[in-house]
A and B are shown apart, each in its own frame.
Chain A
Amino acid sequence: MVLKVFFPSCCSLADSGILIGRWISEQNSAVVLAVVHFPFIPVQVKQYLGEVQRVTKVSVSVLGSWSNSKQEKEESLSEFLEDLGTIFCHEPWIQISKEGDSKFWSCSTLQKHSKNPQEEEIILVYYDQRKVMLSHLHPPLDTAGRRAEDASKLSAIFDTVARSRVLFMTDRYDEGPIKLTHWQSDGVEASIIVELMKQASVPACMLLTFLLSLLSGICRSRVLKFWPLSFLWSKLSTCEQLGHRLQHLQVISSNKKAQNQNQLMRKANIFVSLLIDVALGILLMSWLYRKNRIGHLADTLIPVADHVAEELQDLLQWLMGAPAGLKMNRALDQVLGRFFLYHIHLWISYIHLLSPFIEMILWYVGLSACLGLTVALCILSDIIALLTFHIYCFYVYGARLYCLKIYGLSSLWRLFRGKKWNVLRQRVDSCSYDLDQLFIGTLLFTILLFLLPTTALYYLVFTLLRLLVVIVQGLIHLLVDLIDSLPLYSLILRLCRSYRLAAGVKFRVLEQQDGKPLRLLMQINPLSYGGVVQTYRLPTYSCYPRDSWASLCKKLFLGELIYPWKHKGEKQN
């Protein structure tokens, strides 16, 4: 059976000593964590290892001996090292020795209780201790459901190094009896900024939690729950987005420490996302308020609304004539056309009534862009919904009329053929009608059939307009969702410190020499950007199109009202 020794590359230049680490017998591999130097007292070493084992729950033990001699191999030293094997009994006792500056080390094992005393092959795998300690191994995305215990042998190695953090806290300037060499033995590193931020974050979090509890108390108060207001809040997408961000703030400001990697990354992602959002929002606000651009915007809003209304009037005049050469039913055409024209007239009067206040309202509403770019985009979407409210109304009227007509036609068609819809059995049954029923039914059927093109045309035109508005709103919401759910912190981490997010490992074969063990270098294979986004994306509150294309087409044909997005912007007068 092949023996694998995982050796940290930082210990290659260490002085002679004994190797401590973890022996994983199922995989026949030894993970070396540090080198203990001479002189030491074996009892103290065993005590220290017992303490480390208790704290880290990793079964750390003495694995073998390491000799780094500048001259040729000394016979007495090798016997001394073999004798150490009897003091710290470990099966198998690994002996690694390096001569001078040679890259090729000799490695041998001593088995006292082996059944088959044949020479087993040894593979020496070098690994970068700091990177493996900090990295987080991600399981393959498709087997996330199955918890296979032996799916990844490498995760045991990553786990061992990550959990032995306390072993790496002692450096060579400590006055203890044990002298270790590991990646931090030249001096423990820390950052002042990180420590200061940790100290400052506790009172900041408490203040934030207090403010948020006040805010959510106000939001939940009875005053805001009365019927018109609560309906309003549920329809405006701005309120949903603000609620979503409030939830995010609550997650960040909670003083419970993150339990595992996923929760930590989620908190960090939310924090960075909020920061970037607010920064972009403030940038947008400064751009809008400079040179009074918002005043110009308010000034052009009324003319744009007027222009839209005029275009609609022209469209209706076109429909009332002979649109695209089709011959409409004169009377119905005039009725529908005049009804919609009157509606537009009402709408224009309403807009003109509001026009003196528009600039002020817009100025104050624009200030709320400092809450974030997503809030500004939601406000834009709501303004579009408000301005095109008449198109929505027309669509509803046209759709209802068309829907009634279609149902009437289908029911009378059944009557024409002598059949009836059986509600109990949910199927079409034959039925014998009286003569006068048949007469009236056929008459009504003919009337509805010949009036169908007119209604269908109005319905088609207004549905197309409504779909246009829905598409524009949908694009805005798509952008908002993208900003909400993108895990920016994880992406930046993948860019700058790619070893922290590991999808696996890769091995590189180093120079070999006959007779010496196989030398491999284990490097971390980082997760791809697509994998990072898939693993760490933040959940959002909307779900995309509820209906499939087929059911959407069916609804359009039958005249049922469509709500393609889960949340829609609509405001009642």
Chain B
Amino acid sequence: MGASAIPIIVVTAFWFVVGAILPWFVPKGPNRGVTQTVLVMTACSCWLFWLCCYLMQMNPLIGPEMSNHTLLVMKQEWGSSWKA
């Protein structure tokens, strides 16, 4: 069970800037409202999309099932074991 702090902070901060900070800086003009709406909606939906994907993988119930060939190659290329 784990959620690493860094990715959460980075991604959330990025979308927070896009959705809550940038709208204040949209230049005045006829399109101000539309641009603000676009920024906020983009930030919300993209952040939620990322969040669902992250949560889904945070506590996996099953793991990937692969053929032993693939596993052998993986072992060679990616190293084995997270344990020290």
* A and B: bona fide binding partners: no
A: which residues have CB within 8 A of B? none
